[in-house]
Amino acid sequence: MVDHKDAHEDILLAPIAHTGPGFYWTVAGLSVFILWGAIAYLVQFYYGLGVTGLMQPVSWGFYVTNFVFFIGISHAGTLISAILRLSRAEWRRPITRMAEVITAMVLFIGAGQILVDLGRPDRILNVILHGRYQSPLLWDATSISAYLTASLTYLYLPMIPDIAILRDRLGKWKLFYSVLALGWTGTEAQQRVLNRAIAIMCVIVIPVAISVHSVVSFVFSMTLQPMWHSTIFGPYFVVGAIFSGIAALIVAMIIFRKTYGLEPYLKPVHFRYLGQLLLVMSLLWFYFTFAEYLTGYYGAEPEEMKVFWAKFSGPFWPYFWAMVLCNLFIPLACLVRLGRHTVGKVLAASLAIIVGMWLERFIIVIPTLSFPRLPFPHTVYTPTWVEMGEFAGSLALFALFYLLFTKVFPIISIWEIREGREEGVKEVEERIKSYLPDEIKGTA
Amino acid sequence: MALWGMVIDLDRCTGCQACVMACKAENNVPAVGEKEAKKGRTISWMQVLTETDEEHHEEKMRFIPRPCLQCDDPPCTKVCPVYATYRDPEGIVAQIYGRCIGCRFCMAACPYNAKYFNWYTYQKEQPGQNPDVSLRPNGVVEKCTFCHHRLQKAREQAHAEHREIQPGEYNTACADACPAQAIVFGDLSDPGSEVSKLARSPRAFKLQEELGTKPKVIYLTEGEGGG
Amino acid sequence: MENLHSPSAQLIRKLQWIWMIGFILLVLGIITWFIHLMRTAIWLGDVPSAAIGIPVVAIPIFLALASVVFYVFWGLAVRGRGQ
């Protein structure tokens, strides 16, 4: 009679224990795009940024858009995982690891976008040796290094008991897992240490995460440019980041649910809750966007209005309205009623949102640069194959990192699922009982 | 301590762009070539902008020569991550090509778009260049320096002769070249200098003054100023 | 299973200490970087408020992270070993 525990573990350990042809085909496919990106960057490194479509005055384009986009997606993991842990939402258990891995992997890609954007990447050490804290780029460097360290820690600590399972059960890479497992044997004392550490990390990680996208927004809002110099940027970017992060998380969940057969763990109820969260974020995003544009429109400052109309009805209108469609209307249509076809609806909404949020970053960066205050001759930014390749390569590299992670560590937290089954049920029952009024004793 | 500034009289400017050409010749500003120019990558430290009146398109046109306005509160120096651009004690906003990492944040921050980027290696050593001005490599930002090399030469000359710099000894290439004498350059901290007197004219205005950048290039025009 | 191929406990401990110390060195390196930037800005008189204010927040965060990781390392690998 197979132990219930072991059967579950088998499913979750299967991707690490066995590798089928599907994996190799996927890696081959991703490698094509990564190669495109690598060639694009080598060409750019050799000749200079002239191989892109950037010019005067649009000196920031795809790369900076991608930077904001990828850093935005990084908010999936930590915020979802930390907030759900702190609020003791039991439905988080199969989701937290997937979310945390997104954050850890995408931060590298996001930070890489800035390196790709530099005219002199060979001088990157200047930022370390001669950095200036008045510059928002240094705020970025500090904040992102803190976030990267914190999220790697926050990914690793809850993984320790699972690494111990791999150490004991898997048979291969024993030294690797043994070193990382830190001698975990599941004793009471060890459990207490780990739980306390995870609780502390939950609290540290949230303000760090919020600071990251705030300082990314400050890169724009600390300048004096029309439609950038706005106080709303900090909260706007954080909301947008959480929004795009949840969408990316859902897409990752659906992909791996299908390919690794994780339907028993990632049930429609999980997608329903995430879908509801996504709907709330969509409305919140729309509220911020509406407030921002209404304020600009009502004030009618001529230079702001030049940029405003460029987005609303001018050269950028397709991107602007596609953004609104993808970020508001499609999510509303899909997510208001999640009773049936939950997974399909949530997938459609998430894909639309990922596209929409990339467009949102594009709509923030390029129109303001395209319409400077002084009367310069008008130019149109057209990205080249180099920028497209870099974008495709970055997405593929992120996917590859994620995929490789799932082949080395379990993508769903085995011990947390077990904890949910063994202790969570009881704990929630006690908690609910504590909310209800106490038993009334007999009157005196 | 001098405070170098410039006055440009828009009522004298004919839009001939002699200042643009003189600046390019003096400062080894590269000709980027036809293909690059079509892509919008012309580098023009001094650039003449044309402003048409919105209501009377063909009737009123104004030429605005725009060098770097050498702001006293520069938005570009605030955002540079590596001290590659900074305001020196005499008011010139310097650009250090050897430090610049090409992040182009200063370009995004400048409300006058006075900064330009070397998208390729546009310059190689060749005869006919001004030996006093260094060539800029690939991937760095450059801009008008108020012909700072001329200041250095004048200062060295004055130092060798144990005296101060006389007014008129240090002049920018654009000011020298303007056939209408629309550009006047000098020490704003000297109340007797020509540039100071012109800066106090009732016709004086500053571009985008409300932004608080405190530019040291002051424009003169009859009628409605502000740009 | 194959105990012959099981890595020795000594090797495991050594590697654990190595990566733990490596992580602490990384964090100390980052903190040194912040202090270097702070000192340069103060020496140059370049917006010292920002140069002091930001490391004052960032350094404790990194110290907290290093402490948490070391706490776990100590509690699991050193003290909690083999009970």
What are the tokens at B175? 């000011």
Tens of pLDDT, residue by residue over B116-133, are: 999 999 989 999 899 999
Q: Are C69 and A194 in contact (CB under 8 A)?
A: no
Nearest to C69 among A153, A175, A189 (CB): A153
The answer to whether the CB atoms of C11 and A128 lie below 8 A apart is: no
What are the tokens at A318? 């397709």
Nearest to C77 among A134, A142, A183 (CB): A183
**Cα separation, B203 vs B220, whole angstroms:** 5
**Does residue B106 form part of some domain?**
yes
Whether residue A12 is predicted with pLDDT greater than 90 in this model: the reply is no
Averaged pLDDT for residues B197-221: 94
Per-residue pLDDT at A1: 37
Q: Collect all residues of chain C within an 8 Å Cβ-Cβ radius of residue A127.
A: none
Per-residue pLDDT at A76: 81
The number of folded domains in chain B is 1
Per-residue pLDDT at B56: 64
**Does residue B185 form part of some domain?**
yes
**Cα separation, A246 vs A83, whole angstroms:** 13
Whether residue B187 is predicted with pLDDT greater than 90 in this model: the reply is yes
Tens of pLDDT, residue by residue over A242-286, are: 999 999 999 999 999 999 999 999 999 999 999 999 999 999 999
Whether residue A5 is predicted with pLDDT greater than 70 in this model: the reply is no
The CATH number covering residue B181 comes to 3.30.70.20
Per-residue pLDDT at B225: 60
> pTM to 2 decimals?
0.94
**Does residue B119 form part of some domain?**
yes
Per-residue pLDDT at C3: 47
The answer to whether the CB atoms of A193 and C80 lie below 8 A apart is: yes
Tens of pLDDT, residue by residue over C34-55, are: 999 999 999 999 999 999 999 9
Q: Beta strand B116-117 with B47-52: parallel, antiparallel or unpaired? A: unpaired
**Does residue B225 form part of some domain?**
no
The answer to whether the CB atoms of A204 and C61 lie below 8 A apart is: yes
Q: Are A307 and A227 in contact (CB under 8 A)?
A: yes
A-C contacts (CB, under 8 Å): 112
Whether residue A2 is predicted with pLDDT greater than 70 in this model: the reply is no
ipTM above 0.90, yes or no: yes
Ranges under pLDDT 50 in chain C:
1-4, 83
**pLDDT-derived band at A7, boundaries 50, 70, 90:** confident
Tens of pLDDT, residue by residue over A150-200, are: 999 999 999 999 999 999 988 888 999 999 999 899 899 999 999 999 999
Per-residue pLDDT at B57: 64
> Containing domain of residue B123, as a range?
4-220
Tens of pLDDT, residue by residue over A352-397, are: 999 999 999 999 999 999 999 998 888 899 999 999 999 999 999 9
**Cα separation, A405 vs A414, whole angstroms:** 15
Per-residue pLDDT at A443: 58
**pLDDT-derived band at A319, boundaries 50, 70, 90:** very high
When comparing pLDDT for B60 and B190, which is higher?
B190
Q: How far is A140 from chain C (nearest CA, A)?
A: 11
Per-residue pLDDT at B227: 47
**Does residue B227 form part of some domain?**
no
The answer to whether the CB atoms of A375 and B49 lie below 8 A apart is: yes
Nearest to B139 among A59, A120, A224 (CB): A120
What are the tokens at C36? 């270097």
The answer to whether the CB atoms of C12 and A178 lie below 8 A apart is: yes
Per-residue pLDDT at B1: 86
- Range from A77-81, A90-94, A335-339, B222-226 that averages highest in pLDDT: A90-94
Which of B105, B140, B213 is the mutation pick for testing A, counting most A CBs within 10 A?
A: B105
Whether residue B54 is predicted with pLDDT greater than 90 in this model: the reply is no
Q: What SS3 class is residue B205? A: strand
Percent of chain A's residues with pLDDT above 70:
98
Percent of chain B's residues with pLDDT above 90:
87
When comparing pLDDT for B55 and B135, which is higher?
B135
Tens of pLDDT, residue by residue over A281-311, are: 999 999 999 999 999 999 999 999 999 999 9
Per-residue pLDDT at A79: 78
